[in-house]
């Protein structure tokens, strides 16, 4: 599946053309649309019949012949106008950042501003490749900077549902102030959170090794792939979404406090964020970053919102807002959840990523409407068992991973620490302990236990932390990475496992504990 993008000058492609990024390692091409056929007006003849078949003699015969000629001419010219209306020649790409493919489509690339996005240089050149034209645009990373001048002014204005952070709206949904949830990511704050939260020098060293391995997987276009690993690294995944892979690769850098404006990985994050911006597809419902699955939409929205929250870069705001707008549109209005495609009845795992994207939007000062979050509660009610202590996938039959996801969602939609079902659920996760082979479970359960705190966290943390430090690879090109087969481990492969492991080790500072002293009183 291709990713759509604006051209590098910031102007839109023709309305009937979409610019995309060639999938993974497929040969990059620009497919030139063929010119419309040269249509020549055909001579229309109606041979006279030996005996006229028309009533009215020769006058009726001439009248019928005129009508037939008129209809033939009308149909011919209608077809000609329709052909010309449907045909648009591909626009010159100019300077840019990606291998591009052009083909007819009803969606347009999301418009952005040159003031916000500017490739570092361009060296466009063409080479023949069969009957297509191959364009190498010399991408080596853009600058993502501000201020931007109305990045989406020519596309869709910000949704009236998104804008200034409405604290009253937020407090209707949770008892914890997420507006300061990213406060632990600064350099000094990070060290302090590690000290008081239960991290160690070894766990922090493992984080940095993991980030270096992820950096080595970045592709020339700034994106990442689950299916293609660099060097001799084994265990590639099977998931094809490069939007999901790129967003997941960005999250550990942001979790450690590294952005495109600060820290030792500025170039990595800048190019990765630029890839996400170029991958956004403009739709009437917002910025579509699915790349085939709502998992990717949620992950990309989290990355964009967190990057905007941490930097205030105006060049990120519009697409961050519009990516969340698409999530609002994609919700199943009846059941309240999300699944692989917009409007489908929800499942707990997809809901977890979408809800975190909505909370990330709030962390960035963007308002999320109450009905959306109330719908999430309705979905959670439909898949809970034991009064909400456990959760299933699409029904109440409980699973370990879905229980961890469901409990974290409950924390973010209003359950306070004294909620009896939350306490039962935490006790259940505590009794299970960390998984040896399922990072999906570990990632969510670690957040639940960290937010809850107390003795369950004190038991969980050293076991989880030390297991990840001990299992990090030190082998050749795999040094700094992890791979586990459980959960979605083989689908996402080594890149997925490494990103999830790093974020799990960042738990001390990635998000501030929900039930800290600064949390506001529960309103329910």
Q: What is the pLDDT of residues 386-413, one digit of tens each?
A: 999 999 999 999 999 999 999 999 999 9
Give the model's confidence band at 496: pLDDT under 50 very low, under 70 low, under 90 confident, else very high.
very high
Angle at 350 between CA 349 and CA 353, to 5 degrees: 95
Q: Give the residue among 495, 386, 360, 395 at the shortest CA–CA distance from 439.
A: 495
* Confidence (pLDDT) at 82: 61
Q: What is the mean pLDDT of the chain?
A: 76
pLDDT of residue 343: 95
Q: In 3-state terms, what secondary structure has residue 244?
A: helix
In the three-class reduction of DSSP (H, G, I as helix; E, B as strand; rest coil), residue 101 is classed as strand
Q: Are 445 and 404 in contact (CB under 8 A)?
A: yes
323 within 8 A of 297, measured Cβ to Cβ: yes
Task: List pLDDT tens digits, range 461-486.
Answer: 999 999 999 999 999 999 999 999 98
- Over range 364-373, report the average pLDDT: 92
- Most confident stretch, 38-42, 75-79, 136-140, 204-208: 204-208
Give percent of the chain above pLDDT 90: 61
Tens-digit pLDDT profile for residues 497-508: 999 999 999 999
Tens of pLDDT, residue by residue over 223-262, are 999 999 998 999 999 999 999 999 999 999 999 999 999 9
Question: What is the pTM for the complete model shown?
Answer: 0.69
What is d(CA 129, CA 335) in angstroms, rounded to the nearest whole number? 49
The pLDDT value recorded for residue 220 is 95
What's the count of helices (H) and strands (E) in the chain, helices before strands? Answer: 16, 11
Structure tokens given for 236: 């590639």
Residue that wins the pLDDT comparison between 150 and 76: 76
Write down the pLDDT at residue 163: 34
Domain covering 167-510 assigned CATH 1.10.1370.30 in the classification: no
Q: Which has the higher per-residue pLDDT, 80 or 56?
A: 80
What CA–CA distance (Å, rounded) separates 184 from 178? Answer: 12
Out of 1-5, 183-187, 200-204, 288-292, pick the least confident: 1-5
| Residue 132 reports pLDDT greater than 70 | no
Q: What is the pLDDT of residues 134-169, one digit of tens each?
A: 222 232 333 343 323 333 332 333 333 333 333 333
- Residue 180's pLDDT is 78
Look up residue 388 and give its DSSP letter. G
Residue 404 makes CB contacts below 8 A (sequence gap 6+) with 429, 441, 444, 445, 448
As a whole number, mean pLDDT of residues 412-424 equals 96
Q: Predicted confidence band at 86 (pLDDT cuts at 50, 70, 90)?
A: low
Q: At residue 47, does pLDDT exceed 60?
A: no
pLDDT digits (tens, 9 = 90+) for 6-34: 443 333 333 343 334 344 444 444 444 45
Q: Is pLDDT of 352 > 70?
A: yes
List, for residues 294-340, the tens digit of each pLDDT value: 999 999 999 999 999 999 999 999 999 999 999 999 999 999 999 99
Share of the chain above pLDDT 70, in %: 65
Give the start-end residues of each E strand in 110-249: 117-119, 125-129, 132-136, 142-144
Calculate ∠ Cα 494-499-503, nearest 5°.
150
| C-alpha distance from residue 209 to each of 89, 446, 468 (Å) | 48, 21, 12
| Cα–Cα separations (whole angstroms), residue 159 to 140, 167, 260, 376 | 33, 18, 26, 20
Provide the token pair at 152.
């989406």
């Amino acid at each position: 599946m291709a990713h759509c993008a604006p051209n590098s000058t910031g102007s839109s492609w023709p309305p009937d053309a979409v610019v995309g990024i060639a999938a993974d390692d497929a040969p990059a091409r620009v497919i030139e649309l063929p010119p419309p056929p040269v249509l020549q007006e055909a001579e229309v003849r109606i041979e006279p019949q030996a005996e006229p078949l028309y009533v009215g003699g020769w006058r009726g015969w001439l009248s019928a012949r005129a009508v037939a000629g008129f209809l033939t001419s009308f149909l011919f010219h209608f077809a000609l106008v329709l052909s010309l209306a449907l045909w648009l020649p591909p626009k010159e790409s100019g300077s840019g950042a990606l291998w591009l493919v052009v083909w007819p489509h009803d969606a347009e690339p999301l418009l952005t501003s040159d003031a916000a996005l500017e490739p570092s240089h361009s060296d466009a050149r063409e080479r023949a490749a069969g009957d297509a034209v191959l364009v190498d645009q010399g991408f080596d990373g853009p600058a993502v900077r501000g201020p931007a001048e109305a990045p989406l002014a020519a596309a869709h204005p910000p949704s009236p549902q998104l804008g200034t952070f409405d604290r009253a709206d937020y407090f209707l949904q949770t008892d914890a102030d997420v507006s300061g949830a990213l406060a632990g990511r600064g350099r000094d704050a990070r060290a302090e959170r590690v000290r008081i939260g239960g991290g160690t020098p070894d766990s922090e060293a493992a984080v940095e090794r993991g980030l270096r391995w992820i950096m080595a997987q970045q592709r020339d276009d700034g994106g990442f792939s689950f299916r293609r690993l660099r060097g001799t690294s084994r265990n590639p995944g099977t998931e094809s979404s490069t939007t999901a892979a790129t967003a997941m690769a960005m999250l550990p850098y942001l979790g450690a406090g590294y952005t495109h404006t600060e820290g030792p990985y500025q170039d990595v994050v800048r190019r990765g964020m630029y890839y996400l911006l170029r991958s956004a597809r403009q739709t009437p419902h917002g910025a579509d970053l699915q790349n085939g699955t709502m998992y990717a939409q949620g992950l990309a929205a989290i990355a964009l919102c967190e990057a905007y929250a941490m930097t205030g870069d105006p060049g990120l705001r519009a697409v961050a807002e519009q990516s969340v707008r698409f999530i609002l549109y994609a919700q199943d209005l009846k059941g309240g959840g999300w699944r692989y495609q917009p409007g489908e009845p929800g499942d707990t795992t997809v809901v977890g990523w979408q809800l975190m994207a909505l909370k990330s939007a709030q962390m960035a000062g963007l308002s999320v409407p109450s009905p959306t979050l109330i719908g999430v509660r309705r979905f959670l009610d439909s898949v809970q068992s034991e009064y909400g202590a456990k959760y299933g996938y699409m029904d109440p039959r409980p699973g370990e991973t879905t229980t961890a996801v469901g409990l974290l969602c409950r924390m973010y939609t209003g359950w306070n620490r004294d909620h009896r079902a939350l306490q039962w659920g935490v006790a259940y996760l505590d009794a299970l302990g960390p998984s040896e082979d399922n990072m999906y479970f570990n990632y969510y359960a670690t957040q639940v236990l960290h937010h809850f705190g107390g003795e369950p966290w004190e038991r969980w943390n050293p076991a989880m932390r030390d297991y990840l430090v001990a299992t990090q690879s030190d082998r050749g090109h795999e040094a700094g990475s992890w791979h586990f087969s459980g959960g979605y481990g083989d689908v996402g492969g080594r890149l997925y496992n490494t990103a999830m492991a790093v974020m799990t080790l960042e738990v001390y500072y990635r998000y501030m504990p929900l039930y800290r002293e600064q949390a506001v009183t529960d309103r329910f």
